[in-house]
Amino acid sequence: MMRYISRELSPESFKESITSTVNGNTLYPPPSETATHPHIINIHCSAESMPKSTFFSKKDAICVMYTPCKHGWHEYGRTEVCWNILNPIWVRPFTFRIDGNFESMHFKVYDVNENSYDMSHQDEIGCCEISVNDFLKHSSETNYLQLSLFNNKTGRQTGMLNLYYFELVPHIYGSLFFRMSVKDLKSPGRILKANPFFVISRLHKMTGRFVPVYKSAIMSRKCECYWEDIEIFMQFFCGGDLDLPMRITFHDYKTNGFKTIGEIITTIGQLKLAGECKFYITPILPQQHETQQLQPSSHSSSQTQDESQQYQQYLTTQLNSEQIQQLQIQYQQKSTKDTKGVFFTKLQSECSLPRLFDYRLIGVQLSPMVGIDYSSTVVSFTFNNIGQHLENGVFSYRYCLNDVCDLLTPLVMGQPYSTYLFADFPNEQKIKSLALNKQTDTLPDVLSVLMSYERAKRTIKFPKKCYLTPLIVKAREVSRKRWNESRSITVLVIITNGKFEDLKNAIDCFVEAENDPLVTIIVSMGGNRKDLDHAFKHHHGIIENSLGKKTSRRTVKLTTYLEFKTYPDPRLPHHITPCAKKMARMYLESIEYFRNAPSFMEFE
């Protein structure tokens, strides 16, 4: 049975950083001037009172939001997985546009059992449904609503779902980049050093609760750690209010849960104005200690579960702004003997221009296009292109296609895939579409892409030679059409291990496509290739055609799928998504798209 495997549904994914930004299907067209409700909102979710999986384990919970469509319910977006937590609080929100179409929102919470992207393979914990109109009506005073979760099979209540939302304002944009570090961090355990990470939470003014908006990467067994290039989005971290209280909590990661180390209270304005800040990480204050501070680990599984539950309660402690200010004063008065470590922040740079997610709020989209090298060229004595098509292991095109599409999914969620085979086919275009519907020439999702590719391997012969230029010509055509129809930038991913017969012509075509809404990522299946390195790996990604004309920005990124031809390159996740975002943003800056946005947005 064909399956689409996702990195997001593997426990290792939690070790990476998670940021609250734009999450969900299309936001195009932009919100209208006549909208009587908040144009765009970010809905943050948390759950409580859920049942345990077994006596020894807790839920690996993920929340999925659905909206109605012609064929029933369509997945709108999903959060990250909170691993081994009984009462999860998710960092990733749902970004929803209010446009007067008061449709229903359906939320489902699942317990993740395997890494299949299809939620039908997971266990449903509970679900709830509410119309957008009712949601806005009942939460108008507090921007908060609590719903009961019910299991469809048993009909029993299985927990409560808490929904907080923040209004997003398009004229707030930009971000700050920080270098953050911690020293002399005390471990909650008596023997082993901590696996530290921190969570940044912003104050939800209506309820006085802190809502997580960022989780850092997890460091392994260190009491002195450094986190580079922490990006603080002005829109999502404070909504433009630099004086909004912000809590940074420090935790020790364990496979069976978390333990709180300490916290600091600050504001983005304080971090920005000071440039460099030093904070003493302090334990929870005495009045909160008895019920909310996590205690040292116990061999009892029930105590471990209670600690995880207390951790969740701790993250959402009710405090108002005046109490927050008092906390900072009390922290400064505490003895250094009570500190759990020292936290340093250094402002590295400030970006006053819009980031990609700021563009997303005014209707810009990213759409995927995949080109698969279908030739049978021989690259080396150990690797040939046709062999990597026929096998299904980690070195195969099938595995790479799954991995690449999975990395693009958070950026292109809800957008159809244009998927082509390119080689010396006996037609003028030298490409073949994998779409069954030739009118749209697209496939609806990643699973359809994988199934169509497997079907093609059984029916289409492998030509000997490989031509790249026809694929680029087609990509330019598709990108211009998508941009005119829905303000969508096309992300072209080329998966190849063949030798291009027309590499010089392809480079000329890439240079000509500089002004098209097209960004390209070339994934080399066989590791480093000298011919491709010479063509595409130049300073700042600038490429040059045969006439000496150079691009003014990066339009193509070359990366490898195999490292030393022994295993998949672990750097691939850091190349695919970040590069696609950066190149798309550079294109939007080159055409000054933000200045030409709808007139009702008050830009600075």
Q: Are residues 517 and 430 in the same domain?
A: yes
Question: What is the pTM for the complete model shown?
Answer: 0.88
Residue 355's pLDDT is 94
User: How far apart (Å, rounded) are the C-alpha atoms in residues 465 and 452?
Assistant: 22
The single-letter DSSP state of residue 71 is T
The residue-averaged pLDDT of 404-420 equals 93
Q: Are residues 335 and 421 in the same domain?
A: no
Residue 330 has pLDDT above 90, yes or no: no
Last residue of some domain: 168, 192, 214? 168
494: closest CA among 413, 394, 576? 576
Q: Are residues 180 and 159 in the same domain?
A: no
Q: Are residues 329 and 395 in the same domain?
A: no
Residue 356 lies in a domain: no
Residue 301's pLDDT is 38
pLDDT grade, residue 334 (50/70/90)? low
Give the rounded percent of residues in the chain with a pLDDT score beyond 90. Answer: 59
Give the rounded percent of residues in the chain with a pLDDT score beyond 70. Answer: 84
The residue-averaged pLDDT of 567-580 equals 82
Q: Are residues 200 and 328 in the same domain?
A: yes
Residue 527 has pLDDT above 80, yes or no: no
Domain containing 329 equals: 175-351
Residue 302 has pLDDT above 60, yes or no: no
Asked if the peptide bond before residue 444 counts as cis, ω within 30 degrees of 0, the response is no
pLDDT grade, residue 601 (50/70/90)? very low
Query: If you average pLDDT over every residue of the chain, what do you get?
Result: 85
Last residue of some domain: 168, 198, 216? 168
Residue 296 has pLDDT above 50, yes or no: no
Q: Are residues 163 and 197 in the same domain?
A: no
Are the C-beta atoms of 83 and 97 separated by less than 8 Å?
A: no
Q: Are residues 123 and 200 in the same domain?
A: no
- Bigger pLDDT: 447 vs 101: 447
Residue 526's pLDDT is 75
Structurally, the chain folds into a number of domains equal to 3
Residue 300's pLDDT is 35
Residue 403's pLDDT is 93
Q: Are residues 111 and 156 in the same domain?
A: yes
pLDDT grade, residue 223 (50/70/90)? confident
Q: Are residues 60 and 204 in the same domain?
A: no
Residue 499's pLDDT is 85
User: How far apart (Å, rounded) are the C-alpha atoms in residues 541 and 561?
Assistant: 19
Residue 410 has pLDDT above 70, yes or no: yes
**CA separation (Å) from 351 to 53, 61, 120, 122, 267?**
45, 35, 42, 41, 18
Q: Are residues 159 and 198 in the same domain?
A: no
Residue 42 has pLDDT above 90, yes or no: yes
Q: Are residues 220 and 131 in the same domain?
A: no
Q: Are residues 90 and 24 in the same domain?
A: yes
Residue 179: count other Cβ atoms within 10 Å of its Cβ: 15
**CA separation (Å) from 46 to 22, 40, 64?**
18, 20, 12
The residue-averaged pLDDT of 190-212 equals 90
Residue 205 has pLDDT above 60, yes or no: yes
Which of these ranges, 70-84, 243-257, 301-315, 366-380, has the smallest mean pLDDT? 301-315
Residue 562's pLDDT is 76
The residue-averaged pLDDT of 155-162 equals 94
Residue 407 lies in a domain: yes
Residue 32 has pLDDT above 60, yes or no: no
Residue 599's pLDDT is 44
The CATH number that applies at residue 209 is: 2.60.40.150
Residue 600 lies in a domain: no
Residue 598's pLDDT is 54
